[in-house]
């Protein structure tokens, strides 16, 4: 295994960059460099591990000898199963174990440097936004619907309704729209219905299984995905202004 000559990550962003570098190396081993990787995993050799390195490279090597190791170790003996199963299944198995190892390393750094609840949540959210190695290797990686939906919405709607990251949330950051309350407003029945029961960006109806957020200025509701706000991010927002209200304010 690597002797850790790389700088040790200490912040959420640094740990995520370390994660991305190792992940890129592992994906390379299991896709672009798969023939080379396959040859290096000779079942006649001793227990071998696949390591992803922060500089986006990979190596097949014996496990580290020190106990306990400096970092969590990848799955041991991946070479032994190589000839006993279909190549595709074997690569998928290595991919699953590689995903587990990456998470173990990232959260090892988080524990070592005392990440709190919010930092751990933010780190996991950043990691979770990427497809897993298993999804990439098996071809099951799905393009995030959030991004395509937001892009289509941006093209068809006015700039005031484009989705972008606004980072504000208030005492009022409301996270689950009460359609009925808004409907009872009276005069502006239509507007309230749109604000409470439909998303102010894409126009879709409220769904109980989706995360929603309310603008503290215009009091319209939005899908979190349409305005690029996650539940984790919403926790840190003091006052949320939707893209439209943010744009109005900047023009004044």
- Which of the residue ranges 4-8, 96-100, 230-234 would you say has the lowest mean pLDDT? 4-8
72: left (phi over 0), alpha (psi -120 to 50) or beta: beta
3-state secondary structure of 205: strand
User: Is the predicted pLDDT of residue 163 greater than 80, yes or no?
Assistant: no
User: Is the predicted pLDDT of residue 222 greater than 60, yes or no?
Assistant: yes
User: Is the predicted pLDDT of residue 81 greater than 80, yes or no?
Assistant: yes
pLDDT band at residue 50 under the 50/70/90 scheme: very high
Q: Which long-range contacts (CB under 8 A, 24 or more apart) does 147-156 make?
A: 149/202, 149/225, 149/226, 150/201, 150/225, 150/226, 150/228, 153/201, 153/202, 153/226
Average pLDDT score, the chain: 78
């Amino acid at each position: 295994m690597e002797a850790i000559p790389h700088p040790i990550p200490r912040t959420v962003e640094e740990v995520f960059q370390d994660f991305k570098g190792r992940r890129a190396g592992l994906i390379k081993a299991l896709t672009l460099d798969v023939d080379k990787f396959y040859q290096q995993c000779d079942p006649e050799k001793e227990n071998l591990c696949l390591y992803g390195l922060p500089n986006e490279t990979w190596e097949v090597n014996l496990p580290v000898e020190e106990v306990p190791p400096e970092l969590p170790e990848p799955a041991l003996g991946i070479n032994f199963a190589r000839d006993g199963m279909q190549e595709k299944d074997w690569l998928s198995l290595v991919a699953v174990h590689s995903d587990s190892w990456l998470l173990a390393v990232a959260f090892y750094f988080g524990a070592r440097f005392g990440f709190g609840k919010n930092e751990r949540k933010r780190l996991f959210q950043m990691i979770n936004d990427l497809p897993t190695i298993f999804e990439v290797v098996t071809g099951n990686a799905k393009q995030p619907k959030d991004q395509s939906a937001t892009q289509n919405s941006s093209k068809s709607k006015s700039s005031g309704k484009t989705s972008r990251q606004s980072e504000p949330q208030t005492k009022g950051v409301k996270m689950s729209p009460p359609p009925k309350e808004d409907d009872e407003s009276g005069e502006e029945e239509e507007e309230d219905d749109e604000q409470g029961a439909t998303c102010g960006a894409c126009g879709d109806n409220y769904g109980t299984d989706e995360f929603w957020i309310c603008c503290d200025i215009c009091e319209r509701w939005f899908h979190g995905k349409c305005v690029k706000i996650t539940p984790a991010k919403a926790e840190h927002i003091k006052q949320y202004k939707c893209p439209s209200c943010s744009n109005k304010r900047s023009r004044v």
